[in-house]
Amino acid sequence: MRLNDPSLLRVDSYVDGNWLAGKRRFAVTNPATGEVIANVADLGPAEVTAAIDAAVTAQREWSKRTAKDRAMIMRMWYDLVMANAEDLAVILTTEMGKPLAEAKGEVAYGASFIDWFAEEARRVCGDVLETPQADKRLLTLKQPIGVFGAITPWNFPIAMITRKVAPGIAAGCACVLKPAEQTPLSALALAELAERAGLPSGVMNIVTGMNAPAIGQTLCDDNRIRKMTFTGSTEVGRILMRQSAGSVKKMSLELGGNAPLLVFDDADLDKAVTGAMMSKFRNAGQTCVCANRIFVQDKIYDAFAKQLAEATKALQVGNGLTEGVEQGPIIDNQGLAKIERHVEDAIGKGANLLTGGKPHALGGTFFEPTVLTEMTSDMQLFREETFGPVAALFKFSDEEDAIAMANDSEFGLAAYLFTENAARLFRVSEALEFGIVAVNTGIFSSEVGPFGGLKNSGLGREGSKYGIDEFLEIKFVCVGI
Ligand code: SIN
């Protein structure tokens, strides 16, 4: 891996301000080539408990600092992340596969949470309440929840860390974070930069390891961890919730999605095709908010399908480090197998293949950008998110029908709609049972908008002015005078 600053490539865990080699190592591979790029510390429960000890000690001091003090260190961290954006993007693409341009976008997106929450730290405030009794004064204080555990996914190896850690440390908490085993190098590079920025030892601990269930259980079982924050599957989210019940932890869960994208016949067709391409093929379809089910009104169905298939055929597939590549590999064989299963199931049940549909000639885990039409609700893809580059087109006849199909899911993370009719925009946005509704755009993510879902898509909101509340407790103080 060619980096301007090779010392960003850390392979040991970061606990209490020390780089910890651990007793074992695990291999991290480049999904584009299958090559091993690093052997990283493989920690177990005992080392995770030591990291919790460190976080508990560090949090006492960190929470006593002024918000301005914390913000200044975070701002320095933000500057260092941006100054090293090129190297961070190379590390990210090499371990995860997304095209370099997307990786650079993710670095800026990830950094924006550090900058945003550094500012938000200074705006946390309690209230003085109107008293119901003349001899009392009532106040609320907002205080850090304490030490939190964080478990982050491989699809956004930087942004999902900063979206959790930045509000937490801004609020005066400390954390023990486990990055995905596929992408620990981005996490460790972030820790290296946090250390250079002057973040005190023990405030952010990064525990790398292969045994995610054991590490997760250690975090959940420990009473001193007062909150868990997780992005990943609904199945694992439920396990963490169950394991956290014993110590009644606060939970933030960003879980599975099955995003509908609705295109009405009054939409601007070019805008809808561009939006669908961005939403569907971002990160090779490997985001929780990628359009999984594309519902198109009957009058414009054929024209939309034709334009989408043309744009899809033009996508450049390859190693994300190669100039001009727009779609990298799928993260692993398990991910690839699910995509193949969904496509085979759909075709077996009558779907029509407009383009793609099979593993790419490049081999490995590359998959052809795919468009399927004539999709129906009995197909697996209708219920489960594919997490791959498959645009699946369903037909609808009227608004009511479209809303009913979109809401027919256990998930409720993000939905998209394309219409030029203002009344419909509000009507449909209100009727969709999703935490996020994007109108006439395929991309909505930023540090300013609240990210989070309804139903089995999770609990809590990340980013935005609401994100810091997840790491604060409200204390009521009643003063007799
Ligand atoms: C995710 O897929 O979990 C995050 C996507 C985003 O932040 O836009």
Inform me whether the pLDDT recorded for 1 exceeds 90: no
Ramachandran class of 360: left when φ > 0, alpha when ψ lies in -120 to 50, beta otherwise: beta
Half-sphere exposure of 325 (CA within 13 A, CB side): 22
Count of other CB atoms within 10 angstroms of residue 419: 23
Ligand 1 centre to CA of 291 (Å) is 12
Element spanning 303, H or E: helix 301-313
Q: Please report which confidence band the pLDDT of residue 298 belongs to, taking 50, 70 and 90 as the band edges.
A: very high
329-338: pLDDT as tens digits: 999 999 999 9
Residue 143's beta-bridge partner residues?
Answer: 473
Does the C-beta of 445 come closer than 6 Å to ligand 1?
Answer: yes
- What tokens appear for 47 in the block? 């080392």
Mark out the alpha helices in 209-268 (DSSP H runs). Answer: 212-221, 234-244
Inform me whether the pLDDT recorded for 115 exceeds 90: yes
- Can you give the pLDDT at residue 93? 98
CB 391, CB 308: distance < 8 Å: yes
Q: Please report which confidence band the pLDDT of residue 4 belongs to, taking 50, 70 and 90 as the band edges.
A: very high
- Can you give the pLDDT at residue 409? 98
Q: Which residue has the tokens 């608004």?
A: 399
User: CB-based burial of residue 4 (10 Å sphere; 0-12 exposed, 13-18 middle, 19+ buried)?
Assistant: exposed
Q: Which residues of 338-366 are buried (b: 16+ CB within 10 A; e: fewer)?
A: bbbebbeebeeeebebbbbbeebeeebbb
CATH number of 6-255: 3.40.605.10
Does the C-beta of 288 come closer than 6 Å to ligand 1?
Answer: yes
312-347: pLDDT as tens digits: 999 999 999 999 999 999 999 999 999 999 999 999
Ramachandran class of 344: left when φ > 0, alpha when ψ lies in -120 to 50, beta otherwise: alpha
One CATH from 3.90.1150.10, 3.10.20.740, 3.30.70.890, 3.40.309.10 for 259-447: 3.40.309.10
Point out the ligand 1 atom lying closest to the alpha carbon of residue 159: 7
CB 365, CB 332: distance < 8 Å: yes
Choice from 164, 451, 461 to test ligand 1 binding pocket (greatest atom count within 8 A of CB): 451
- What tokens appear for 254 in the block? 């960003």
Does the C-beta of 38 come closer than 6 Å to ligand 1?
Answer: no
Strand order across the 414-418 sheet: 352-355, 370-373, 390-396, 291-297, 259-263, 414-418, 436-439
Residues of the chain within CATH 3.40.605.10 domain(s) are 6-255
Rounded to two decimals, the pTM is 0.98
Ligand 1 centre to CA of 96 (Å) is 15
248-297: pLDDT as tens digits: 999 999 999 999 999 999 999 999 999 999 999 999 999 999 999 999 99
Residues of the chain within CATH 3.40.309.10 domain(s) are 259-447
Does the C-beta of 231 come closer than 6 Å to ligand 1?
Answer: yes
- Backbone angles phi and psi of 312, in degrees to 5: -70, -40
CA separation for the pair 192, 106 (Å, rounded): 18
Residue having the nearest C-alpha atom to atom 3 of ligand 1: 288
DSSP of 336-353:
HHHHHHHHHHHHHTT-EE
